[in-house]
């Protein structure tokens, strides 16, 4: 049986009437978006705020082992949150006790620590933290912690002991790509996974090659000017990142275009399949946007490269964070030009097949042929086209198209 698919998040302020909604239709919120947290990014540099948030009674921690989240059961529908007392031996007494300047001066490359990321606050929670900055900010704080046992020493031992304890209590870490979490948990996990992964991939400065230090609540890495582990003065070799406006390393997000292409007559949808897809399983085309390229240009280039089809007008439909590892899927709908609809797979060998599918065939497949990439077809499926589930932005693009998005009146 295929895995049951979670509901999609609700768009922001769905009940508020606006000119944009009347003109372009209801906003589409895709899986991994719609976080219930206010990230309060402007408070990440305030160590006093992070210190209070870390120890507050309402604070929850998301644990990741090899980037897999701690979940309540094998079905992996909900995250298993833990409290500060559970992870105190892993993160230490208070890693936010000192300001960034002091932390950089006291940097010791021989000391290891678990990566900690501030995710935001849930403002509707009762009894949450109250912090007076420029304004009064309220909410239950959320953090992510990388408990992957690495290296040697106390931190590795603490992570190993914690994982063992949690597994003995009946919880465990998710397997494979996590696509079954409820919408709110999925959005929080997406943020946590992407930032933890970025920190793990960037332990060294891209400019000088020396070790970097995670600061700003886990959302930036700095190249410290000195290292107490270095003999004599402790000063490190010069690095250009410590001067001017280029002194920071921030998490990366790779823009990726994914597009539903409609033929000029408005009757067929261009779908493709790669060799790794199950039999009869097709999806919309996709690819990375390149430097100095607009999203519209990226759509036209990718469709031409993969399928040989020439695309005219392109509009943006919706977007989807995709934390595998760090993509923002920019969903678009385009329409081919009349004399550019012949499919040619000879430019780029990425696709095994591509074809123009009638809208009625796509509609039928959206009803009975939807499943995850690794899941079996649903029981009602008797053959024919198979398509991605609702948690994939490709599904939302196809649904919009066959429901009249490319018509006289926009039906987004």
Tens digit of pLDDT for each residue in 218-246? 999 999 999 998 876 678 889 988 887 66
CA–CA dist 317, 393 (Å, integer): 10
What's the chain's length in residues? 412
User: SS3 of 198, please?
Assistant: helix
How far CA 405 is from CA of 236, 262, 391, in Å, comes to 58, 10, 19
- pLDDT(408) > 60: no
Tens digit of pLDDT for each residue in 292-347? 999 999 999 999 999 999 999 999 999 999 999 999 999 999 999 999 999 999 99
CA–CA dist 380, 382 (Å, integer): 6
CA 398 from centre of chain: 22
This prediction has a pTM of 0.94
CA–CA dist 273, 334 (Å, integer): 19
Q: 412: pLDDT confidence band, cut at 50, 70 and 90?
A: very low
- pLDDT(410) > 50: no
For residue 238 the two structure tokens come to 């010069």
Mean pLDDT of the chain: 93
For residue 101 the two structure tokens come to 């300047």
- pLDDT(411) > 50: no
CA–CA dist 398, 394 (Å, integer): 6
Give the pLDDT score at 232. 67
CA–CA dist 86, 158 (Å, integer): 11
β-strand pairing of 220-222 with 213-215: antiparallel
Nearest to 317 by CA among 253, 244, 406, 197: 406
Tens digit of pLDDT for each residue in 44-73? 999 999 999 999 999 999 999 999 999 997
Tens digit of pLDDT for each residue in 101-136? 999 999 999 999 999 999 999 999 999 999 999 999
Where residue 216 falls (left for φ over 0; alpha for ψ -120 to 50; beta otherwise) is left
CA–CA dist 137, 362 (Å, integer): 47
Give the pLDDT score at 405. 80
CA–CA dist 120, 141 (Å, integer): 6
Percent of the chain clearing pLDDT 70 (strictly above): 96
CA–CA dist 68, 212 (Å, integer): 24
DSSP 170-186: T-EE--SS---S-HHHH
Tens digit of pLDDT for each residue in 1-19? 556 789 999 999 988 999 9
Nearest to 222 by CA among 237, 212, 234, 233: 212
């Amino acid at each position: 049986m295929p895995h049951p698919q979670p509901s999609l998040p609700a768009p922001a302020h769905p009940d508020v009437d606006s000119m944009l909604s009347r003109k372009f239709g209801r906003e589409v919120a895709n899986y991994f978006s719609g976080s219930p947290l206010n990230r309060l990014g402007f408070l990440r540099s305030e160590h006093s705020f992070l210190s209070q948030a870390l120890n507050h009674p309402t604070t929850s921690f998301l644990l990741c082992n090899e980037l897999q989240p701690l979940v309540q059961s094998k079905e992996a529908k909900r995250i298993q949150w833990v409290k500060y007392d559970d992870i105190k031996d892993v993160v230490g007494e208070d890693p936010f006790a000192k300001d960034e300047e002091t932390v950089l001066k006291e940097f010791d490359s021989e000391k290891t620590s678990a990566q900690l990321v501030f995710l935001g606050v849930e403002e509707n929670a009762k009894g949450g933290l109250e912090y007076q900055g420029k304004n009064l900010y309220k909410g239950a704080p959320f953090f992510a912690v990388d408990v992957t046992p690495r290296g040697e020493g106390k931190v590795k031992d603490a992570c190993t002991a914690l994982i063992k304890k949690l597994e003995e209590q009946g919880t465990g870490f998710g397997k494979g790509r996590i696509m079954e979490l409820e919408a709110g948990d999925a959005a929080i996990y997406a943020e946590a996974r992407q930032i933890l992964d970025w920190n793990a991939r960037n332990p060294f400065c891209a400019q000088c090659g020396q070790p970097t230090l995670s600061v700003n609540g886990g959302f930036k890495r700095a190249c410290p000017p000195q290292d107490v582990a270095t003999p004599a003065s402790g000063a490190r070799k010069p690095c250009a990142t410590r001067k001017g406006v280029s002194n920071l390393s921030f998490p990366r997000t790779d823009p990726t275009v994914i597009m539903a292409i409609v033929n000029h007559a408005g009757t067929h949808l261009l779908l493709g399949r790669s060799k790794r897809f199950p039999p009869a399983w097709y999806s919309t085309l996709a690819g990375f946007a390149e430097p100095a390229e607009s999203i519209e240009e990226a759509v036209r280039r990718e469709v031409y490269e993969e399928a040989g089809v020439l695309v005219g007008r392109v509009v943006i439909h919706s977007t989807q964070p995709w934390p595998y590892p760090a993509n923002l899927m920019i969903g678009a709908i385009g329409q081919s030009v009349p004399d550019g609809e012949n499919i040619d797979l000879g430019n780029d060998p990425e696709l095994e097949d591509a074809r123009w599918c009638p809208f009625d065939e796509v509609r039928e497949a959206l009803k009975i042929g939807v499943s995850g990439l690794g899941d079996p077809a649903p029981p009602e499926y008797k053959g024919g086209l198979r398509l991605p589930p609702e948690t994939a932005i490709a599904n939302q693009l196809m649904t919009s198209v066959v429901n009249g998005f490319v018509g006289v009146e926009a039906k987004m």
